[in-house]
């Protein structure tokens, strides 16, 4: 399987049988993404929450590709009301899809629709494809239950925000990596705008100082897991 980073919190997982799973595809209005929404394929789109920088181009992409949107119940219902294929889930629940397993976790943040309505609780998501497990924390502050997530799941790649202001900053994200104990930490949600101008190299140095691995993905870069 492959993991591609578009920038911000937007990623793509491509399975060996070529299924494409997008996470939080914020591309067209994202000043750091080298890829635009009409260039990506999707079978599924997983949303951590409904803020514009995560819901992003979901509707444009789903309309073109027929992708199924996977989200917590309230957000999935919002998408379904707009005519899209959805799979409703909620925090703590897991489901096996054709491509692998998805489980939603808590995240300490907010979530509202573009119209300003409640969109359910924000979430993180644990995605297992074959023998690899990715934990995308969503937008969140640090929380101690990350330790439990690390105990119950062998996380290969932990995708964690470091940008501060809206989410964990670097020091809290390093603590989160300590709690989750992944094979690799991957920073996200930084430098999209001046307000989240955190330096991924600083995060990497601090992660390595506690004896953990960090991989900084370049905007648009795809790696084989």
Residues that bind Mn ion (CB under 5 A): 53, 139
- In terms of CB distance, is 121 or 139 closer to Mn ion? 139
Separation between Cα atoms, residue 185 and residue 201, nearest integer Å: 12
- In terms of CB distance, is 8 or 51 closer to Ni ion? 51
Interaction partner, residue 164 (Mn ion, Ni ion, none; CB < 5-8 Å by kind): none
Query: Strands 184-188 and 222-224, how do they pair?
Result: unpaired
Shortest Cβ 208–Ni ion spacing (Å): 28
- In terms of CB distance, is 56 or 100 closer to Mn ion? 56
Query: Where does this chain touch Ni ion (CB under 5 A) — which range of 44-52, 77-85, 154-162, 195-203?
Result: 44-52
At 180, give phi and psi (nearest 5°).
Answer: -80, -30
| Binds Ni ion by CB under 5 A, chosen from 4, 51, 204, 212 | 51
| Binds Ni ion by CB under 5 A, chosen from 121, 139, 164, 172 | 139
CA 154 remoteness from chain centre: 17
List Cβ neighbours of 131 (8 Å cut-off, separation of 6 or more): none
Is 40 in contact with 60 (CB distance < 8 Å)? no
Query: Where does this chain touch Ni ion (CB under 5 A) — which range of 9-17, 129-137, 138-146, 152-160?
Result: 138-146
Number of residues that bind Ni ion (CB under 5 A): 2
**Angstrom distances, CA of residue 32 to CA of 26, 55, 98:** 10, 16, 31
**Angstrom distances, CA of residue 158 to CA of 57, 89, 223:** 23, 21, 14
Shortest Cβ 165–Mn ion spacing (Å): 10
For Ni ion, the binding residues (CB under 5 A) are 51, 139
């Amino acid at each position: 399987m492959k993991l591609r980073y578009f920038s911000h919190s937007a990623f793509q997982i491509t399975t060996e049988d070529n299924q494409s799973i997008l996470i939080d595809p914020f591309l067209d209005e994202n000043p750091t993404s080298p890829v635009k929404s009409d260039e990506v394929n999707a079978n599924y789109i997983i949303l951590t929450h409904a803020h514009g920088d995560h819901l992003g181009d979901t509707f444009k992409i789903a309309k073109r590709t027929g992708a199924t949107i996977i989200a917590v119940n309230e957000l999935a219902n919002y998408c379904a009301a707009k005519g899209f294929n959805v799979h409703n889930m909620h925090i703590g629940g897991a489901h096996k899809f054709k491509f692998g397993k998805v489980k939603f976790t808590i995240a300490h943040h907010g979530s509202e629709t573009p119209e300003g309505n409640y969109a359910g609780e924000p979430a993180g998501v644990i995605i297992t494809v074959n023998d690899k497990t990715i934990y995308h924390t969503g937008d969140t502050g640090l929380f101690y239950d990350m330790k439990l997530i690390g105990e119950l799941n062998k996380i290969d790649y932990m995708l964690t925000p470091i940008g501060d202001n809206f989410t964990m900053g670097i020091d809290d994200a390093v603590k989160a990596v300590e709690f989750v104990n992944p094979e690799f930490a991957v920073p996200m949600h930084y430098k999209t705008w001046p307000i989240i101008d955190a330096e991924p190299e600083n995060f990497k140095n601090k992660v390595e100082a506690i004896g953990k691995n960090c991989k900084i993905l370049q905007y648009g870069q795809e790696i084989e897991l």
